[in-house]
Amino acid sequence: MADKSRTSTAPQFGDAPTAPPETAAEMLAAAPIEEGEAPLGRLIIRWCLRASVAGALASILIHMVLALIAASVLLDRSPGRLASRPLDIEMAVLSDIELTDLREQALREDPVPFDAADLQDLETTPDIDFDSPVTDVALAPLDIGDVSPFSGAATGVGEDADLGGAAGASANFFGVEAQGRRFAFIVDVSGSMHGERIETLRKELTTSIDGLTEGAQFAIFFFSSDSTPLGGGVRWLIANDRNRAWARREIRAVPARGGTMPVPAFEHAFALQPRPDAIYFMTDGIFHSSAVPVIAELNESSDALVPVHCIAFMNDSARDLLGLIARQSGGSYTHISGPRH
């Protein structure tokens, strides 16, 4: 009977196989308890195994947490992180009343004065002996022959007068007045202007420059067969003592030579930036009629016309052409018959 009971406990063919225990502890824990064997020892062994596994897992977790904390502390102390931390900035908050008081105080403060001579020091000019005397040319009183009916337009102002112009500012050339702050002089120095005529021109041009309001701007273009800007540069000159003295010296040295071709001088004048408030155009002779539409086109290249004040000096053969230029630009025409003897 005993043998028969032992064979009945053996696994039968076709039963599912069970995985064998891998370790001795597992084999001991999984072993069945025989009859008569005390279970307390087996329970203690199982509890110790489970406690060891739990302790190992807890140790691993604790070390991982400590490693993460150490890493975060090191990263937080790096220069890049320290530099990127936001800074606390205190903001001053002003009330509307305080802001209004500040604005009124700023408006009451005097503006910083502007010395035009400081700006002119940037211009490149030839070395000049300012101590050399300036010889005045003797001139008999001028006889103004006739003034056209539309000469009242002499008060016209160019497009940029609002930038540099001022109420009451003006220029006077051969008795013809123009308004503004920037004046271009286009004057004839052709061969027919020799002798008394060129002397009269020098005197009138010098008088006009000396009479400009302090801080006004001027440019002079001598024309004959070509155009020669005063000093060789197409630029505005500020009317101050230094530039007036330099201009007098340059004007005295201008010779009378060549033909009568005013267009290049007008091209120079309209190339000035800003544009002139007024242009004086003086000639003593006739010039080609093709110059009239070219001058008009140059003037119309901007939104507002620049008044051209035309002066026929002694010879009025160009009266019709000069009158047309004056009408097209809103300027004036004047005939100067010459010095009285």
Per the model's pLDDT, the better-predicted residue between 292 and 152 turns out to be: 292
197 domain-assigned: yes
255 contacts: CB under 8 Å, gap ≥ 6? 189, 198
Any domain includes 228: yes
Whether 301 and 207 map to the same domain: the answer is: yes
Of the three residues 75, 92, 120, the one that is the final residue of a domain is 75
Domain shared by 269 and 204, yes or no: yes
pLDDT in tens, 205-230: 999 999 999 889 999 999 999 999 99
In angstroms, rounded to a whole number, what is the distance separating the alpha carbons of residues 157 and 179?
Answer: 6
**Strands 308-313 and 278-283, bridge-based pairing:** parallel
Per-residue confidence at 98, pLDDT binned at 50, 70, 90? Answer: low
Is 103 among the domain residues? no
Specify whether 312 is located in the same domain as 170. Answer: yes
Is 20 contained in some domain? no
Number of domains forming the structure of the chain: 2
Q: Is 123 inside a domain boundary?
A: no
Q: What's the rounded mean pLDDT across residues 118-126?
A: 43
Count of positions (residues) in the chain: 341
| pTM for this model (two decimals) | 0.55
Residue 208 belongs to a domain: yes
Query: pLDDT at residue 44 above 60?
Result: yes
315 and 238 together in one domain: yes
Region of poorest pLDDT, from 35-49, 151-165, 288-302 = 151-165
In a shared domain, residues 306 and 185: yes
**270 in Cβ contact with 301 (< 8 Å):** yes
Domain boundary pick from 75, 96, 117: 75
Same domain, 66 and 137: no
Do 55 and 189 sit in the same domain of this protein?
no
Output the domain CATH number for residue 290: 3.40.50.410
Q: Which residue has the higher pLDDT, 233 or 119?
A: 233
Q: What mean pLDDT comes out for the span 45-70?
A: 83
Average pLDDT over residues 139-147: 42
Q: Are residues 169 and 285 in the same domain?
A: yes
Residues above pLDDT 90, as percent of the chain: 47
Domain contains 119: no
- Residues 6 or more apart whose CB falls under 8 angstroms from that of 154 comprise 176, 177, 178, 179, 307, 309, 331, 332
Mean pLDDT of the 22-29 span: 55
Structure confidence at residue 52 as a pLDDT band (50, 70, 90): confident
Verify that 57 and 189 share a domain, yes or no.
Answer: no
Residue 118 included in any domain: no
The answer to whether residues 163 and 276 belong to one domain is yes
The most confident of 107-121, 164-178, 327-341, by mean pLDDT: 327-341
Domain that residue 68 falls in: 43-75
DSSP codes, 211-242: TSPTT-EEEEEEESSSEEEGGG--S-EE-SHH
Q: Over the chain, what is the mean pLDDT?
A: 75
Angle at 13 between CA 7 and CA 16, to 5 degrees: 110
Shared domain for 179 and 65, answered yes or no, is no
Condensed to tens digits (0 to 9), the pLDDT of residues 301-332 reads 988 999 999 999 999 999 999 999 999 999 99
Same domain, 134 and 61: no
Quote the pLDDT of residue 80: 45
Spacing of C-alpha 26 from chain mean position: 88
Is pLDDT above 80 for 121?
no
- For residues 142-160, give the mean pLDDT: 40
